[in-house]
């Protein structure tokens, strides 16, 4: 089984345009902008992306062994600036569709009044070949 969450994380982190749209990395302040976790370690950091695996099921059996994994990874985009939400969302979609064999579904834009944060959900569906042991 491949680690689909890590695959999506690495793919997003390699894109300098996306990192720039998110405000860049600031190692000194602990701002990395893209997190392989549903919760960012710094609650005051915006914009940011968090991601986590939702489902990973075996598919396509051969000789009683699964050969493929059907995986759903959720990518959450968080920002206090609504004007960049569209650009970040489109960049994430483009990166994933260009670099991975996947389907990308965009959720509704949500405004969370209590935190004054805009939130966009991106669902990533991958069919990955399982690595042989």
Sketch the domain layout of the chain as residue ranges: 4-129
Digit-coded pLDDT (tens) for 23-75: 987 766 656 789 999 998 888 889 999 999 998 887 756 666 767 788 899 99
Q: What are residue 112's DSSP bridge partners? A: 117
Which pLDDT does position 1 carry in this prediction? 53
Q: Kindly report the CATH number that applies to the domain delimited by 4-129.
A: 3.30.2000.30
The predicted pLDDT at position 45 comes to 87
Q: So what's the pLDDT on residue 42?
A: 84
Give per-residue pLDDT as tens, 83-132: 999 999 999 999 999 998 899 999 999 999 999 999 999 999 998 877 66
Predicted TM-score (pTM) of this structure? 0.87
Supply the pLDDT for residue 31.
Answer: 60
* DSSP string computed for 54-95: EEEEEEEEETTEEEEEEEEEEEEEEES-HHHHHHHHHHHHHH
pLDDT of residue 96: 96
């Amino acid at each position: 089984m491949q680690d689909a969450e890590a695959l999506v994380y690495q793919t997003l982190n390699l894109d300098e345009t996306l990192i720039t749209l998110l405000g860049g990395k600031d190692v000194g302040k602990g701002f990395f902008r893209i997190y392989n976790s549903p919760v960012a370690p710094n609650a005051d950091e915006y914009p940011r992306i968090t991601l986590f695996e939702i489902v990973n099921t075996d598919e396509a059996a051969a000789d009683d062994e699964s050969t493929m994994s059907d995986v759903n990874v959720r990518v959450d985009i968080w920002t206090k600036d609504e004007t960049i939400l569209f650009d970040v969302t489109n960049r994430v979609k483009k990166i994933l569709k260009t670099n991975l064999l996947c389907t990308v579904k965009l959720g509704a834009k949500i405004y969370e009044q209590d935190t004054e944060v805009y939130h966009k959900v991106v669902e990533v569906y991958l069919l990955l070949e399982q690595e042989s042991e």
